Structure 1
């Protein structure tokens, strides 16, 4: 549901006019100003409270057989005060959508729309051409007054494929902008962090039938958009998880409908660090939901066995990808309030979803799960799912599966982007939720397809198996950068916790850097309407109080408050569900004590159940303490965190 109040002003410019002055566009609070120039070229500049954020930056769209002509025919403006009701609220249920908009109609059949919000700027092209078109190139420049430092994830080129193949899972590097050249290909979102002035996060929204935007450097104070050309020919990789790769690309970006809107180019503007994690501008810009009925979408928590290698203990059966193991996971989920389990890679042949692992009796597992009130979730290989799509989804329905994952796309060219929409639509027809792994950022996809509840595109827990990349510092960048573009499947909850000194990447005995409470806090801090617990259930059964607290945490929220935060250092997130509040806090390798006023609470008293770092968590990070106290909105919460530490609390209205 969306209620809209419009104030519209229209300025008609005579066709004979040779020089047109386009009015500046201001944010509702008048802090952000956008200045646009059109004529021989097309550019825009952005300022915040009079301070230049972007200097004149060229933009454009090159379409075959359409001469470039940015002469203006007309300009219209409107002010919008709307409210979006999110059916799957990863941050908040009611989303205010207030902005000022300017639309420029050019003499050629193209329009340009700018929107300015109190927290950002976005623009998009719209074409009005009857026939299909070929987009040869898009110009998207981001020119800054000086080469600020920036946090960016750079593509690491793989052997035997071009640089547009990536799983979108890299660490964030912090370097001055002028250290990047055209040879550095980065994927969005990335964050420009001036020494003084607002943070500027660059990303996109409403990506459909078009390639995603990468960014390159220029050796100066500017970034340039770069897009994967259309794939003309594809091959298939060898190995355990085969996937499609591009062997030849076209000299154009996309062949598409001539009457359409193109993706939004988005600048999220945050005066303070704490404004970033709860920002939902990308969601607001996305196309509205295409689903009439969303009652069957059931967010919640599940288990995943893949990261720990199903290395269970204290069980009377041989563990592995087999019926007994999955029944054990079902019992565990039921015991601690989870509503599903994931059957990850190995339940079937990767290349044939109907060739079931002989150690698995799917009918028995499905019946057992149904009797316990636990849903099943299934992993699939993208190539296989696409080939067997309709019969596979029908079979999932018969088994009582309500959520699937598909994996190993590792691209965002036009053909791959269209795959996402096609798969989400098919899953919706079968009332299945979907998660994409080996995936680019959501870019608002979760608004258009609410059944696409989360996705990867994040360097998360699985990297603990084979690397030392997943540090508390990395964990404390994700809420401020990657999470701004949409929910992310990090898969927290590892229960073997290590210091920086004692950590080792060991398959089948996977540990995480930082404390147990650092892992637990992620269930509150990180947006994901389906959270997958990646810890070892056998360990969890030995710690029922901890698991019961973890099991109580919702995955969708009425509202979100960032109580305190500093980019890359720490965060304190408070979220409300019903009458209860939950607090998650995380720190980097620096120990911290934070004083958090609870003024966001409603009047009345609350029972606070807290899980904090134990007194020895600096040396033994699995050390924690759970206790309770009574608080109200006049209370101040003292949060003490060990190096790499965390804090988790539930506040129940008395």
Structure 2
């Protein structure tokens, strides 16, 4: 891959996809992108609260992560059962009832399965999950690196497609572009996401290099304390949701809806309650797939300006890891700026990083924005 600017490599990341065979799934109507909310309490009450929140906020899926069928690293844990890991939750969790309720609300259910159960039970769990009404599986802690591991994973993706199950491959698997051949592989990790509390310069490095390979499950955080303590603040999180591409975007990773039961410490704690305001309503509305992408400006590890289009709407993401910066945005690609409404979500000077300010902007042929140090902003253009 060759380009005049590193960002153009990201803009043309379909190169890796095109090294693979064309789509082999005749009917792809069941493969649907969208935002995903993790259920962090592993309880029926928490599940119903998550489903209600997802349905009210246009979030397509709710994920049950590690612990729903037992301790994930225990060889005795059975992924054909709902057996809560007591180290993670006291339960109870009535998963069949939860799936039924989710279907009535138009919300899909996804489940995590660790490699220990995958290798023992894959041929058993896939038809079972299809019967249960599950929409997709997150493959966890998979083996990676050698040819055998990759071949096994690709076979596991093909087997999931047979039962109309979408897949997210987690941990160290790097994208190979196999999503072109089997598009039920929506995303994969192979990325130092928000679970690792990356600094904003690290997130920008990730955008410039890892995203050349394709979609990355970044586990975007929003209300968790790490956002303001270790990362670039909530305005930057909005910008990252556009900059870091993934057809499944996992949002509010350490947060829970207000009606969900709390527990002491860790995921589901009282400190990470989702609060609804103008910024979070916008956060919930950001698309996960795009019709056009343009890497407008930036410098490796320092800042990045990425514009993405969904329908007639443009989302321009600015991430700034260094000192306060003035960014000039040429808007000639819009042709007629007078027909656009522009809303800026940003960190205002003097405001804390947990506050997202919102203002309407009048557009001209170009736009100059002041971006606070170690922060970000997101410009939404509508016609």
TM norm. shorter chain > 0.5: yes
Give distance in 1, aligned partners of 2:325 and 2:159. Answer: 48
Residue 576 of structure 1, CA deviation? 0.9
Name 1:558's counterpart in structure 2. Answer: 291
- Stretches of 4+ aligned residues off by more than 4 angstroms: none
* Deviation (angstroms), 1:569: 1.0
Shift of 1:520: 1.2
Determine which structure has the larger helix proportion and give its number.
Answer: 2
CA displacement 1:509-542 (0-9 Å, x = unmatched):
xxx4111111111111011111000152446642
Work out which of the residue numbers 221, 228, 235 in structure 2 matches 1:493. 221
Preserved CA contact (<8 Å) 1:608 1:651: yes
Superposition deviation, residue 443 in structure 1: 1.8
Alignment partner, residue 336 of structure 1: 57
- Which residue number corresponds to residue 43 of structure 2? 322
Query: Corresponding residue for 1:385?
Result: 118
The whole-number CA distance in structure 2 between the counterparts of 1:408 and 1:641 is 38
The match for 1:303 among 34, 37, 44 is 37
**Is residue 2:255 matched to residue 1:536?**
yes
Output one character per residue of 1:488-528: Cα deviation in whole Å (capped at 9) or x when no partner. 111113324569xx83xxxxxxxx41111111111110111
Residues in 1 aligned to 2:130 and 2:119: alpha-carbon distance in whole angstroms: 17
Is the CA contact (8 Å cut-off) linking 1:591 and 1:642 kept in structure 2? Answer: yes
CA offset at residue 289 of structure 1?
Answer: 1.8
Relative to the length of structure 2, the TM-score reads: 0.87
1:641 CA displacement: 2.1
1:396 to 110, 129, 147: 129
Alignment partner of 2:54: what SS? helix
- Give the unaligned 5+ runs of structure 1: 1-267, 311-319, 465-469, 504-511
1:625 aligns with 2:344: no
* 1:640–1:585 distance in 2 versus 1, CA, 3 Å: same
Alpha-carbon RMSD across the aligned residues, in angstroms, is 1.9
Contact 1:612–1:648 under 8 Å retained in 2: yes
| 2:363 equivalent to 1:644 | no
For the 8 Å contact 2:223–2:274, the answer to whether it is kept is no
Residue of structure 2 equivalent to 1:418 = 151
In structure 2, stretches of 5+ residues that fail to align are 85-91, 259-271
Between the aligned partners of 1:643 and 1:356, the Cα distance in structure 2 is 47
Task: Quickly say closer, same or farther: Cα 1:447–1:621, change in 2 above 3 A.
Answer: same
CA distance in 2 between partners of 1:371 and 1:455 (Å)? 29
Tell me, yes or no, if structure 1 residue 517 matches structure 2 residue 235: yes
**2: CA distance between counterparts of 1:531 and 1:542?**
19
The answer to whether the 8 A contact 1:497-1:621 is kept is no
Cα offsets for 1:32-66 (capped at 9, x unmatched): xxxxxxxxxxxxxxxxxxxxxxxxxxxxxxxxxxx
Cα separation, 2, equivalents of 1:353 and 1:628: 50
Q: What is the rounded CA distance, in whole Å, between the counterparts of 1:540 and 1:575 in structure 2?
A: 29
**2:146 aligned with 1:427:** no
The alignment's TM-score, normalised by the length of structure 1, stands at 0.52
What is the alpha-carbon distance in structure 2 between the residues aligned to residue 593 and residue 498 of structure 1? 26
Matches of 1:637 and 1:555, distance apart in 2: 25
Equivalent residues, number: 354
Give the equivalent residue in structure 2 for 1:367.
100
Structure 2 match to 1:215: none
Residue 597 (structure 1) aligns with? 330
Deviation, 1:273, is: 2.6
For residue 319 of structure 2, the aligned residue among 562, 572, 586 is 586
Q: Secondary structure at the match of 1:298?
A: coil
Q: 1:356 aligns with which of 74, 77, 82?
A: 82
Larger Rg, first or second structure (1 or 2)? 1
1:287/1:471 CA distance change after superposition, 3 Å:
same
1:616 deviates by 2.4
Partner of 2:68: 347
301, 307, 323: which is aligned to 1:574?
Answer: 307
Counterpart residue number, 2:279: 546
Is 1:540–1:547's contact at 8 Å kept on the other side of the alignment?
Answer: no
Query: Is the Cα contact below 8 Å between 2:303 and 2:322 reproduced in 1?
Result: no
Alignment of 1:418-457 (within 5 A): 418-457=151-190
Aligned residue for 1:364, secondary structure, equals helix
- Verify the 8 A CA contact 1:514 1:621 in the aligned structure 2: yes
Contact 1:574-1:583 at 8 Å conserved across structures: yes
Q: Write the distance in 2 (CA, Å) between the matches of 1:283 and 1:325.
A: 38
| Alpha carbons 1:517, 1:645 under 8 Å: kept | yes
Give the direction of change, closer, same or farther, for the CA distance of 1:374–1:579 in structure 2 (3 Å limit). same
1:172-230 superposed Cα distances (whole Å, 9 cap, x missing partner): xxxxxxxxxxxxxxxxxxxxxxxxxxxxxxxxxxxxxxxxxxxxxxxxxxxxxxxxxxx
Q: What are the residue-to-residue correspondences of 1:126-165 with 2, within 5 Å?
A: none
Cα deviation for residue 419 of structure 1 reads 1.1
